[in-house]
Structure 1
Amino acid sequence: MTSMPSTHRFTTLRRAGIGLALVGTLALLSACASPSVEDYAQERPALDLRQYFNGPLTAHGMFTDRQGKVVKRFTVQMTGKWTGNEGVLEEHFVYSDGTTQERTWHIQYLGEGRYSGQAGDVVGPATGQAAGNALHWNYVLALPVNGRVWNVRMDDWMYLMDGRIMLNRTAMSKFGIHLGDLTISFTKGSE
């Protein structure tokens, strides 16, 4: 067995180091390129959950897997009620396969566009920050999948389009692996 000359080993190690540095730099740049809720601070109309999630709402949505295939569609009838900075949002889901689900959110406005929330199938607190027409909401959902429960990280972005319509896009992940997306259109008022 012949050994590599020391200059060749140095060049190989140097190239590997440059490659790792490049990969690290690209990862850092992509992390820095993520949107910030402050990017939307000047967008109008301004989103205030206390106003938008107050009264009846209807939502239509779908789950897509990581390949983009629609896995399930749903409709949600909601009613929100606020007393000062404390809100309750009741959600009644009907899925395309005929199953139903109920969820009740307890939301608190913390000031300066910050929100906190809890629900029965949410692990720990949900946290949110609003600026302009956008809200960035993060939480872990205990999601039933094939007879088991997975704790799935929900990276939720909501955008108020006008006084009645809000769009929502959520990236779902577990252990940092992207599982799929949730897309919802909210309409203020009942249908």
Structure 2
Amino acid sequence: MAEAQLAHQAGFTTAMAAGRDARLDLIRRHGIIPIDHRRFPDLDHDEHRYRTDPDYKDRYRASEAEFLKVIDELSNGRGVAILIDHIGGGLHKASLKALARQGVITTAGWKAGMHLRSVRASECIQRHLHVHTHVWRHQDSPAIREYQNHTGWIADDDPNAVWDYDHIPQLADAHTHGMVDSYFPLCRITNPT
């Protein structure tokens, strides 16, 4: 969400997918085009099922076609210039298809898996650039703080997204199961005295 907000502030046309109404509303409020990924219920590609289950194959193809149709409409047929993927796993196949020629895909998360597959020849022909990163380095923190001080930008503070430190395991479980609406949940650390 922060990356999309900053790109929008820099003048880029931005879109972001989410599958919860509260998140779609938040995305919209920030001037980012919301994409309801519930429109593509079978976009998570499973290679084994794709080869062995004809019904799954048809559902995947339909979801992928609908996803690419949305991308085509939003990009005037050019594809995505920069795609930020924090999910990984089976969504990677459709993400690569959504990229424009010379498009950039950057990954900094792996909620659905760390192993990504691509066909190098296709990626070379399309001149796609793959950037794998870990968001930022510790030594980048002063520059980030300076940017925040200079622009006044800071992530949304949602009082409903503050969890007690002792409840971090419950936060992780809720996040895994799509039960956290905030993109910026915080942990409250209290003084034990």
- Structure 2 length-normalised TM: 0.28
Larger radius of gyration: 1
Q: Of Structure 1 and Structure 2, which has the larger fraction of its residues in helix?
A: 2
Higher relative contact order (CA 8 A, sep 6+): 1
Q: Of Structure 1 and Structure 2, which has the larger fraction of its residues in strand?
A: 1
- Structure 1 length-normalised TM: 0.28
